[in-house]
C-alpha cells in the first residue's frame, strides 16, 4: 500500500457515475472529489459525467451537486480558502439515458472523446441499484468502452457485492468477461477510514504490540459496530439483506482480517490482500450466535409486517491458525442501539498471579481498545498502585485521541481516500474477487441458519438499548462480557478513563 498523498496529484481523467441522480453521488462522491480538489490532489483536468434516467438539466444537476458539497464535504466552497467550485463544476456534465440502451453508451463514448484533456483515462463508478451492475458492465463492454487503448479504464463497484456466494461469484464472472481484475475496484468504505488503515500501522510499526498479538497473551477479541440509526428509507433493501449481509459479510470481516492477518511480506496490494484472504480461509464461525430485531422495525417503510430479518447480530468466530488457536473473536453489530460506535477491543489474559497478596482479586485484565469511530483514538488499560499505604492496585488508561493531534476535521472522509486510490491506480484498499467470495463462503452457512423456515425468530430489543438480552447471555456463557470503551458513553470516554 503506497502513500496516496506522496504519490502526488491524480492523473487527468473522466469519472463517469452511473446512478448520478442518487444520494451517494450528492452526499459522498462529489463532496469527496471537491475536497480532493481543495487539497490540491485532483488534476484540474478531472471531469465528472453523471448518467441517470432522471430528466435533469445540466444546471439542475450542478445545483444538486453544489448543495451536496455545501452540506457534506470536508472542504466546502469558500472554506479553507478553497475557491475551486467554479472550475470544478464547469467540468461536470449530465447525460440522461437508459442503462440498458446501447444508445446511452454510444453517446457516452462521444462525450468522453470530446473532453479532450483526459488522456483517455476513465473511471466508471457503479452507483446504481446492484441489479443493474451486470447490465451496465455488459453494455460498456459492447460499446468498447472498457478497452485500455489510450488511457486506463477502471470500474468501481459499490456494495452490496452479491447476495450470497453464488451471486457474488456470478457477478465476478460477468465483470471479468469485460474487465480484467486489475481494472476492478470493489468498495468497502470501511477500508477507506483512516482509523481502519491505522490497524496495520499500529500492529506492524510498534514492536511492543506486535510482540503480544497472539494466543499466548490475548484472551479474546471483540469487534463492535453499533449504530444509533434505524433502517431509515432503505427498508426495501435492508429487509432482504439483514445485518449479517449488510455489516458482517463486508465491514466486520474486513476488520477482523486486518486484526488477525500476518505481516504482509511486501507492500503491494496483492500481498496485503493475500494475507487477508488467508484469514478468511481459516475463519470458522461456530454454531452459536444471536439474532435480534428492534421493536418497531416491522413498521418501517419498505419492511414486511411479519419480517424476520435480523437488525442485530452477535457471533463467535475462531481463526484456525497457529497465532490464534483457541482465541475467540466476538463480533456484534446492530441498528437502533444505544450509540454509534465502532471499536475493536483486545482483552489480554489475566496476570497469572497477583504480585502482592493484598491486590484485590477483581483486578481487571489489560485491554487495548482501538476506537474507530466516532472520537477516534486508542486506549490502553492497565494497572497502577493506589497511592498510600498498602499495595492495592487501580485500573487506569492511557488515551490517545486523533482530534487532539490532528483537529476535529483532520481525518479525511473514506471516499476521499478511496477515490484518490482509484484515480492513482492503487487497489490495496479494495476487496479482490476471491476476498469477497471467501467472505460470502464464511457467512452463507450462518445466514442460512437464521433463514431456515424452522429457525427461531430474531429476539426483539428496545431501540436505544444494547440489543437483546440474549446478546449479553451469549458472551456471559463464556465467562466474559461485552466491553464498551469508546464513544460518548464508553467507559473510557474521558481523557483519563477508569474502568469500573
Ligand atoms: C453501510 C450499511 O455499508 O454502512 C449501512 O449498508 C450502515 O446499513 C453503514 O449504516 C455504516 O457506515 P458508517 O460509515 O456510517 O459506519
432's grid cell: 479482490
Å from CA of 359 to ligand 1 middle: 44
Cα separation, 320 vs 281, in Å, equals 9
Pocket test for ligand 1, best of 23, 189, 223, 253 (most atoms within 8 A of CB): 189
234 Cα nearest atom in ligand 1:
8
Residues 328 and 223: beta-carbon distance below 8 Å: no
Residue 416, CB half-sphere, CA atoms under 13 Å: how many? Answer: 23
CA-based torsion, 483, 488, 489, 495: positive or negative: positive
The atom of ligand 1 lying closest to the CA of 414 is 14
Give which of 350, 379, 352, 353 is closest to 365, Cα–Cα: 350
Atom 10 of ligand 1, residue of closest alpha carbon:
227
Give the model's pLDDT for residue 1: 61
How far is the centre of ligand 1, averaged over its atoms, from the C-alpha of 315 (Å)?
19
CA–centroid distance, 338 to ligand 1, in Å, is 16
Q: Given the CA of residue 373, which atom of ligand 1 is nearest to it?
A: 16
Distance CA 432, CA 269 (A): 10
Atom of ligand 1 nearest to the CA of 231: 8
Report in angstroms the alpha-carbon separations of 452 from 164, 316, 345. 15, 20, 32
Quick: pLDDT tens for 336-367: 999 999 999 999 998 766 665 555 545 678 99
pLDDT at 403: 86
Q: Whose CA is nearest to atom 4 of ligand 1?
A: 247
Taking the CA of residue 342 as reference, the ligand 1 atom at the shortest distance is 16
Q: From the alpha carbon of 193, which atom of ligand 1 is closest?
A: 14
Q: Indicate which residue's Cα is closest to atom 13 of ligand 1.
A: 190
Distance between CA atoms of residues 67 and 77, nearest Å = 10
CA-CA distance, 154 to 124, in Å (whole number)? 6
- Give the β-pairing of 122-126 and 153-157: parallel
Pocket of ligand 1 (CB under 6 A): 159, 189, 227, 246
Taking each helix axis as running N to C, give the angle between helix 165-176 and helix 133-142, from 0 to 180 degrees, rounded to the nearest 10: 10
Residue nearest to atom 6 of ligand 1 (CA): 246
Q: What is the pLDDT of residue 103?
A: 97
Cis before 160? omega within 30: yes
Residue having the nearest C-alpha atom to atom 14 of ligand 1? 190
pLDDT of the residue at 84: 80
Tell me, what DSSP letter sits at residue 261?
A: P
142 vs 63, 105, 133, 182, 430, CA distance in Å?
Answer: 33, 9, 14, 19, 26
Distance 227 CA to ligand 1 centre (A): 8
User: Which of the listed residues 227, 250, 310, 337 should we mutate to test ligand 1's pocket, taking the one with most ligand atoms within 8 A of CB?
Assistant: 227
CA–centroid distance, residue 229 to ligand 1 (Å): 10
So what's the pLDDT on residue 402? 87
Residues of the chain with pLDDT under 50: 361, 493-500
Q: What b/e string do you get for 229-241 counting C-beta neighbours within 10 Å, with b at 16 or more?
A: ebbeebbeebbeb
The pLDDT of residue 492:
56
Q: How far apart are the first and last CA of the chain?
A: 40
Concerning whether 484 is annotated as a catalytic residue, the answer is no
* Alpha carbon of 225 to ligand 1 centroid (Å): 9
Nearest alpha carbon, ligand 1 atom 8 = 246
Give the integer Cα–Cα distance in Å for 405 and 100. 50
Q: Which pLDDT does position 353 carry in this prediction?
A: 60
Q: Give the separation between CA 37 and CA 92, rounded to whole angstroms.
A: 14
Determine the distance separating the centroid of ligand 1 and the alpha carbon of 244, expressed in angstroms: 13
Ligand 1 centroid, distance to 434 Cα (angstroms): 23
Alpha carbon nearest to ligand 1 atom 2, residue: 246
Which listed residue (189, 251, 379, 381) is catalytic? Answer: 251
- Which amino acid residue places its CA nearest to atom 5 of ligand 1? 246
Element of type H or E holding 228: none
Cβ burial of 177 (10 Å; 0-12, 13-18, 19+) is: exposed
Residue with CA closest to ligand 1 atom 9 = 247
For residues 470 and 290, the answer to whether their CB atoms sit within 8 Å is: yes
Q: Which atom of ligand 1 is nearest to the CA of 246?
A: 6
- Pocket test of ligand 1: the residue of 251, 253, 371, 486 to mutate, having most ligand atoms within 8 Å of its CB, is 251
Cα 226 to Cα 32, 258, 300, 378: the distances in Å are: 25, 19, 19, 18
pLDDT for residue 496: 40
145 C-alpha to center of ligand 1: Å?
A: 32
**Rounded Cα distance, 284 and 280, in Å:** 8
Amino acid at each position: 500500500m503506497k502513500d496516496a498523498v506522496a504519490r502526488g496529484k491524480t492523473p487527468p481523467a473522466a469519472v463517469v457515475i452511473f446512478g448520478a441522480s442518487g444520494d451517494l453521488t450528492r452526499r459522498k462522491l462529489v463532496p469527496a472529489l471537491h475536497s480532493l480538489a481543495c487539497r490540491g490532489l485532483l488534476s484540474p483536468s478531472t471531469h465528472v459525467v453523471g448518467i441517470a434516467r432522471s430528466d435533469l438539466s445540466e444546471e439542475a444537476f450542478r445545483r444538486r451537486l453544489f448543495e451536496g458539497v455545501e452540506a457534506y464535504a470536508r472542504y466546502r466552497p469558500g472554506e479553507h480558502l478553497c475557491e475551486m467550485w467554479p472550475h470544478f463544476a464547469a467540468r461536470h456534465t449530465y447525460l440522461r439515458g437508459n442503462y440498458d440502451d446501447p444508445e446511452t453508451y454510444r453517446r457516452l463514448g462521444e462525450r468522453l472523446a470530446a473532453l479532450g484533456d483526459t488522456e483517455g483515462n476513465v473511471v466508471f463508478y457503479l452507483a446504481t441499484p446492484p441489479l443493474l451492475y451486470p447490465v451496465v458492465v455488459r453494455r460498456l463492454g459492447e460499446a468498447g468502452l472498457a478497452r485500455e487503448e489510450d488511457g486506463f479504464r477502471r470500474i468501481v463497484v459499490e456494495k452490496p457485492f452479491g447476495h450470497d456466494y453464488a451471486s457474488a461469484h456470478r457477478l465476478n464472472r460477468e465483470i471479468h468477461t469485460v474487465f480484467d481484475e486489475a481494472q476492478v475496484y470493489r468498495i468497502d468504505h470501511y477500508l477507506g477510514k483512516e482509523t481502519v488503515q491505522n490497524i496495520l500501522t499500529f500492529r506492524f510499526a510498534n514492536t511492543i504490540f506486535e510482540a503480544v498479538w497472539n494466543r499466548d497473551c490475548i484472551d479474546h477479541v471483540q469487534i463492535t459496530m453499533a449504530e444509533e440509526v434505524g433502517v431509515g428509507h432503505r427498508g426495501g433493501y435492508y429487509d432482504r439483506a439483514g445485518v449479517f449481509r449488510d455489516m458482517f459479510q463486508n465491514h466486520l470481516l474486513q476488520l477482523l482480517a486486518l486484526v488477525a492477518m500476518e505481516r504482509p511480506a511486501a507492500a503491494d496490494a496483492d500481498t496485503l490482500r493475500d494475507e487477508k484472504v488467508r484469514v478468511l480461509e481459516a475463519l470458522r464461525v461456530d454454531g452459536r450466535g444471536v439474532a435480534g430485531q428492534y421493536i418497531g422495525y416491522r413498521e418501517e417503510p419498505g419492511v414486511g409486517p411479519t419480517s424476520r430479518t435480523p437488525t442485530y447480530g452477535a457471533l463467535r468466530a475462531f481463526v484456525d491458525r497457529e497465532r490464534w488457536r483457541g482465541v475467540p473473536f466476538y463480533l456484534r453489530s446492530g441498528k437502533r442501539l444505544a450509540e454509534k460506535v465502532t471499536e475493536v477491543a483486545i482483552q489480554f489474559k489475566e496476570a497469572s498471579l497477583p504480585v502482592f497478596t493484598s491486590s484485590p482479586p477483581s483486578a481487571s485484565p489489560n485491554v487495548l481498545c482501538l476506537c474507530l469511530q466516532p472520537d477516534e483514538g486508542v486506549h490502553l488499560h492497565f494497572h497502577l498502585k493506589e497511592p498510600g499505604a498498602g499495595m492495592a492496585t487501580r485500573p487506569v488508561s492511557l488515551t490517545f485521541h486523533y482530534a487532539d493531534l490532528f483537529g476535529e476535521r483532520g481525518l479525511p472522509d473514506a471516499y476521499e481516500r478511496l477515490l484518490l486510490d482509484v484515480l492513482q491506480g492503487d487497489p490495496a484498499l479494495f476487496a479482490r474477487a476471491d476476498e469477497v467470495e471467501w467472505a460470502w463462503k464464511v457467512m452463507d452457512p450462518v445466514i442460512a441458519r437464521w433463514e431456515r423456515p424452522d429457525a427461531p425468530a430474531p429476539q426483539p430489543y428496545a431501540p436505544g438499548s444494547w440489543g437483546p438480552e440474549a446478546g449479553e447471555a451469549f458472551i456471559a456463557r463464556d465467562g466474559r462480557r461485552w466491553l464498551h470503551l469508546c464513544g460518548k458513553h464508553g467507559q473510557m470516554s474521558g481523557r483519563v478513563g477508569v474502568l469500573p
